[in-house]
């Protein structure tokens, strides 16, 4: 499990191991637009301001993944304890 911080509100939420970032945030009323929910389409792309992404999508190139400034919250997770999202 890790935590996600919403930059605009400062709120921090737990992301349980068995839930995606999209679904965990949805339970707190934060809606991220999705389509494939499998890391293929790029609809859910969200900017990452802090923390290390655990990219699990098939959308970004290796270079984009290495840049660590955006991720696909429908399937990707965090390697660091906290991810700060530009939401």
Residues that bind ligand FES (CB under 6 A): 34-37, 39-44, 57, 59, 72, 74
- Residue closer to ligand FES by CB (options 10, 18) is 18
CB of 58 to ligand FES, least distance (A): 8
Q: Rounded CA gap, 44 and 33, in Å?
A: 6
Point out the residue whose Cβ comes nearest to ligand FES: 74
Q: How far is the CB of 16 from ligand FES (least distance, A)?
A: 19
Q: How far is CA 2 from the centre of its chain?
A: 11
Angstrom distances, CA of residue 66 to CA of 5, 9, 18, 38, 52:
21, 27, 25, 20, 10
Token pair 């970032």: residue: 21
In the complex, least distance from residue 23 CB atom to ligand FES, rounded to whole angstroms: 12
């Amino acid at each position: 499990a890790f935590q996600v911080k919403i930059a605009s509100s400062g709120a921090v939420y737990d992301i349980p191991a068995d839930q995606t970032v999209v679904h965990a945030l949805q339970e707190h009323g934060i809606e991220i637009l999705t389509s494939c929910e499998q890391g293929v389409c790029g609809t859910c792309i969200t900017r990452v301001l802090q923390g290390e992404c655990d990219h699990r999508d098939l959308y970004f190139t290796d270079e984009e993944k290495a840049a660590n400034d955006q991720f696909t919250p429908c399937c990707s997770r965090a390697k660091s304890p906290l991810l700060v999202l530009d939401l």
